[in-house]
């Protein structure tokens, strides 16, 4: 098992930051549901802390330190999230086991999907609507491409 000590502070920050940026990317994809989506983010992290591998548990137990100035431009968030995913995966592929890399990938995808499905888009008083909006689906597709590509 790879341990936190295998990474310097900057590398660790990248590993911790990428999931949070992925979740923010999905949350920002569509208006509405921010509270539900944020709560689902917390649940996904809690579940990963209970079920994840040792390295993944350490990653999701660390609080991300995202510079708020990076988030002021909503158009920059997709690029920032994609970049963070690529950097984190490159680090893990160098230093972690293939199983740990795959667990991290799975967590990123599950996190994005959980956040996207937390709030129905459209409809009236909770009736009808789409479980995942078109813009959220586009974000999920982008994230999946970054994670698997």
Encode pLDDT of 83-116 as tens digits: 999 999 999 999 999 999 999 999 999 999 999 9
More confident residue, 72 or 87: 87
Calculate what percentage of the chain has a pLDDT beyond 70: 90
Closest residue by Cα to residue 84 from 19, 3, 6, 12: 19
Supply the pLDDT for residue 129: 65
- Binning pLDDT at 50, 70 and 90, where does residue 37 land? confident
With H, G, I as helix, E, B as strand and everything else as coil, classify residue 126.
Answer: coil
Supply the pLDDT for residue 96: 97
Domain count along the chain: 1
**For residue 31, is pLDDT > 60?**
yes
Q: What is the average pLDDT score of the chain?
A: 89
How many whole angstroms separate alpha carbon 101 and alpha carbon 86? 12
More confident residue, 25 or 66: 25
Q: What is the DSSP letter of 68?
A: G
| Mean pLDDT confidence for 12-20 | 97
* H or E stretch at 59: helix 54-60
Burial of 143 (0-12, 13-18, 19+ CB in 10 A): buried
Residue 23's domain comprises 4-148
The structure tokens 């330190």 sit at 65
Supply the pLDDT for residue 65: 87
Closest residue by Cα to residue 109 from 133, 129, 139: 139
Partner residues linked to 127 by β-bridges: 124
How many whole angstroms separate alpha carbon 127 and alpha carbon 32? 15
């Amino acid at each position: 098992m790879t341990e936190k000590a295998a990474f310097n502070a900057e590398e660790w920050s990248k590993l911790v930051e990428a999931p949070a940026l992925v979740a923010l990317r999905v949350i920002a994809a569509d208006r509405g549901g921010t509270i539900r989506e944020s709560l689902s983010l917390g649940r996904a992290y809690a579940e990963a802390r209970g079920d994840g591998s040792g390295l993944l548990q350490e990653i999701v137990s660390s609080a991300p330190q995202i510079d708020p100035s990076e988030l002021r431009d909503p158009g920059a968030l997709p690029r920032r999230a994609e970049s963070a995913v690529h950097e984190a995966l490159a680090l893990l592929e160098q230093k972690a086991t293939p199983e740990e890399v795959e667990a991290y990938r799975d967590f990123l995808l599950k996190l994005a999907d959980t956040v996207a499905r937390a709030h129905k888009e459209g409809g009236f008083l909770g009736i009808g609507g789409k479980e995942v909006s078109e813009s959220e689906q586009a974000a999920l597709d982008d994230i999946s491409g970054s994670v698997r590509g």
